[in-house]
Structure 1
Amino acid sequence: MNDVKIVTVAKQLPEYSRETAAILPLVEFWLQNQDERFRRKVLKIFEGAAVDKRFSIMKPEEVFTASSFEEKNAIYAREVKKLGVQVLKNALKKSNWKADSIDYIITVSCTGIMIPSLDAYIINDLDLREDIVRLPVTEMGCAAGVSGIIYAKNFLKANPNKRAAVIAVESPTATFQLEDYSMANMVSAAIFGDGAACVLLSSEEDATGPKIIGEGMYHFKDATQMMGFDLTNEGLKMILDPAVPATIAEHFPKIIHPFLAKHHSSIEKVEHLIFHPGGRKIVQTVEELFGALGKNIDDTREVLRLYGNMSSVTVLYVLERFLDRNLEKGAQGIMLSFGPGFSAQRVLLEW
């Protein structure tokens, strides 16, 4: 039986960080020429975002000073290379793997543009094999952490005795728009932070860790306008429809129950919810939906509080919390994230 297991998850944070309270004066300064009611509303959004702290590849002061798309993308490219290399090193150390034992590398990022993609630089820096199979995932937004695991699982299922690394590195602060006073920009500025994560997976017989017993994607038809980026001369401009939480709630039963039934499971059997913290409202919506089923998403809320929403990276920080606990044999967990498309990505795990 060719099982695919998640062997380890590691994280790496950028060097700069600030408590939300320390960011508020910068927000006030940024919005000084705006209407006072608007300013108060935005400060309330920051205060009520359920994010206590966030990390950044730039000093917070740099984030709030005008710079061109070119300059911000250059900082993104420079810093994500460092974070990507370091987070893979962290994961290799945690699992006692050698760098040249990896057969498949998937890099995930949607907050900047790099060609060649991040994986090429990681291969060179850590001297990975010349015949390693590369897959950069660039346009799936917040869902891509789970997407990367799905692609790795399919590769490993088809190839016994192989190893894969999924490396997600995001810098939403590099996409922050100084001249955009839309609510989408305000909300995203209030919830997003930067970070990196790496998941190592294996189809070797002696691999340890929870096995992937099911995976699937769910596409919301005719919902491309819900979430994403517009590419403008100033950079990547956030699109965020306020209807996202309500749309998730509407589709929720169809996303969860048929998927679990297909893999001979049910919500009663799934004890552990590894959910992407998209933002306070999405977390509240999903918490109510799962709460009605007798489950909690405390780890999701805690990751949002400690780091903010780091796009594709965030769900992997939630996953790490579960992997670091020695869960009982047979326990099941469902990974769930939402992203542009609009789509839901799911992975069912068994310890």
Structure 2
Amino acid sequence: MCVKITAAAKALPPYWRETKDILPFLDTWLIGQETRFQRKVRKIFENAAVDKRYSIMTPAEVFSQTSFEEKNAIYARESIKLGETALTNALAKVGWKPTDIDYLITVSCTGIMIPSLDAYLINSMQMKQDVVRLPVTEMGCVAGISGIIYAKNFLKANPGKRAALLAVESPTATFQIDDYSMANIVSAAIFGDGAACVLLSSHDDDEGPEVVAEEMYHFYDAVHMMGFSLANSGLQMILDKGVTETIAAHFPAIVHPFLEKNRLKIDDISHLIFHPGGRKIVEVVQELFGKLGKNIDDTKEVLRQYGNMSSATVLYVLERFMEKQPEKDTYGLMLSFGPGFSAQRVLLQW
């Protein structure tokens, strides 16, 4: 019995802007700041390798003085819409019904909902009443791969079942209007909103790449590097400037032992499904993989078209590979980094 990924699908919010169209809003926000600082912030946006991003709010709403309560209410309302669209799109790809799902995992870190998103979808989509729910929060960008790991373990223990992993994120809802720190600015420059759904199965009749192996890797003494602090104004970004160097230092220990456990080397990996955390992280990983004769072109393209959508982003990269229908017996490596600090990996075989 094996666990397979049968489909991946995305859903996008109603509002979008190219980065050049956001700059006028940025200039207004920066009025009163030093000229040199204003130029620096503009360059961060212009050099972020993000051409376009989507949002649950208009730019005017993002750059407005709204409370945590108001922005979180928008997050909750729009998350339900996006989640249902992403799940519907994924089900349509394989001809499943909502009642075919036995295990529903929802992941998000950019807002607060109790009850969680899955409860609303069970009602609106009339899913089965005994569906197993797992809402996952507080894991940031790695949660997309975390959800695949949790789904794989559930399905391996329950043959003939099906799971849906749903990632819905709105980093724009966390933008802090009164915070001129580099963490808030860099976050605004690289992040966008979006949702994605991945369907997995332990049914013999379902097809797709097999989840061969999965593993988490936790960095010691690095909890300060990435995350959110909960302020009266909302979720305030924490982003340490040493993230890229830390990833580079740990990279060999993250990749090679994991492959060796599965009797593989990097040469055996045809498809790199890497989470685009931001331009600097992408450049570091591109250099590291490039030395190994690999590329992360699809990762760069997702970052360019959508920005970093936290947990959903790596699933956008996965969807691109699923649509290519890779050759049989080829391997793919999924990789994400996130708060903790942690790296999470999944090995796929088509």
TM-score by structure 2 length?
A: 1.00
1:130 — aligned with what? 129
User: How far apart, CA to CA, are the structure 2 residues paired with 1:47 and 1:95?
Assistant: 39
User: How far apart, CA to CA, are the structure 1 residues paired with 2:342 and 2:231?
Assistant: 24
Secondary structure in 2 matching 1:268: helix
User: How far apart, CA to CA, are the structure 2 residues paired with 1:274 and 1:247?
Assistant: 20
2:72 — aligned with what? 73
User: How far apart, CA to CA, are the structure 1 residues paired with 2:314 and 2:69?
Assistant: 29
1:25 — aligned with what? 24
1:257 — aligned with what? 256
**CA-to-partner distance for each residue in 1:179-217, whole Å, 9 max, x for gaps?**
011001110000000000000000011111100111000
1:221 — aligned with what? 220
Letter in 2 for 1:86: T
1:177 — aligned with what? 176
Secondary structure in 2 matching 1:347: strand
User: How far apart, CA to CA, are the structure 1 residues paired with 2:217 and 2:72?
Assistant: 31
- How far does residue 154 in structure 1 lie from its aligned partner after superposition? 0.4
Gaps of 5+ in 1: none
**CA-to-partner distance for each residue in 1:217-269, whole Å, 9 max, x for gaps?**
00001100000000000000000001000000000000000101111211110
User: How far apart, CA to CA, are the structure 1 residues paired with 2:29 and 2:180?
Assistant: 10
- How far does residue 120 in structure 1 lie from its aligned partner after superposition? 0.3
2:293 is the counterpart of 1:294:
yes
2:234 is the counterpart of 1:235:
yes
User: How far apart, CA to CA, are the structure 2 residues paired with 1:221 and 1:277?
Assistant: 23
1:150 — aligned with what? 149
- Alpha-carbon RMSD: 0.5
Secondary structure in 2 matching 1:315: helix
User: How far apart, CA to CA, are the structure 1 residues paired with 2:261 and 2:131?
Assistant: 33
Gaps of 5+ in 2: none
User: How far apart, CA to CA, are the structure 2 residues paired with 1:50 and 1:255?
Assistant: 25
2:268 is the counterpart of 1:269:
yes
Letter in 1 for 2:325: N
User: How far apart, CA to CA, are the structure 2 residues paired with 1:115 and 1:58?
Assistant: 22
User: How far apart, CA to CA, are the structure 1 residues paired with 2:79 and 2:263?
Assistant: 40
2:311 — aligned with what? 312
- How far does residue 33 in structure 1 lie from its aligned partner after superposition? 1.1
**Which portions of structure 1, spanning 4 or more consecutive aligned residues, are displaced by more than 6 angstroms?**
none
- How far does residue 139 in structure 1 lie from its aligned partner after superposition? 0.6
Letter in 1 for 2:317: V
User: How far apart, CA to CA, are the structure 2 residues paired with 1:112 and 1:258?
Assistant: 35
**CA-to-partner distance for each residue in 1:124-146, whole Å, 9 max, x for gaps?**
11000110000001110000000
Letter in 1 for 2:332: G
1:64 — aligned with what? 63
**CA-to-partner distance for each residue in 1:63-115, whole Å, 9 max, x for gaps?**
00110000000000000001001110111111100110100000000000000
Letter in 2 for 1:200: L
Letter in 2 for 1:153: K
Secondary structure in 1 matching 2:216: strand
User: How far apart, CA to CA, are the structure 1 residues paired with 2:123 and 2:191?
Assistant: 30
User: How far apart, CA to CA, are the structure 2 residues paired with 1:263 and 1:143?
Assistant: 22
User: How far apart, CA to CA, are the structure 2 residues paired with 1:260 and 1:159?
Assistant: 26
2:115 — aligned with what? 116
Letter in 2 for 1:161: G
User: How far apart, CA to CA, are the structure 2 residues paired with 1:299 and 1:12?
Assistant: 18
User: How far apart, CA to CA, are the structure 1 residues paired with 2:48 and 2:100?
Assistant: 42
1:196 — aligned with what? 195
- How far does residue 326 in structure 1 lie from its aligned partner after superposition? 1.7
Letter in 2 for 1:100: T
User: How far apart, CA to CA, are the structure 2 residues paired with 1:8 and 1:33?
Assistant: 49
Identity of aligned residues (%): 70
Letter in 2 for 1:182: S
**CA-to-partner distance for each residue in 1:268-318, whole Å, 9 max, x for gaps?**
100110000000000000000000000000000000000000000000000
**CA-to-partner distance for each residue in 1:301-350, whole Å, 9 max, x for gaps?**
00000000000000000000000012111100000000000000100000
User: How far apart, CA to CA, are the structure 2 residues paired with 1:264 and 1:156?
Assistant: 24
Letter in 1 for 2:342: S
User: How far apart, CA to CA, are the structure 2 residues paired with 1:329 and 1:271?
Assistant: 11
TM-score by structure 1 length?
A: 0.99
Letter in 1 for 2:225: M
Letter in 2 for 1:82: K
Secondary structure in 1 matching 2:143: helix
1:34 — aligned with what? 33
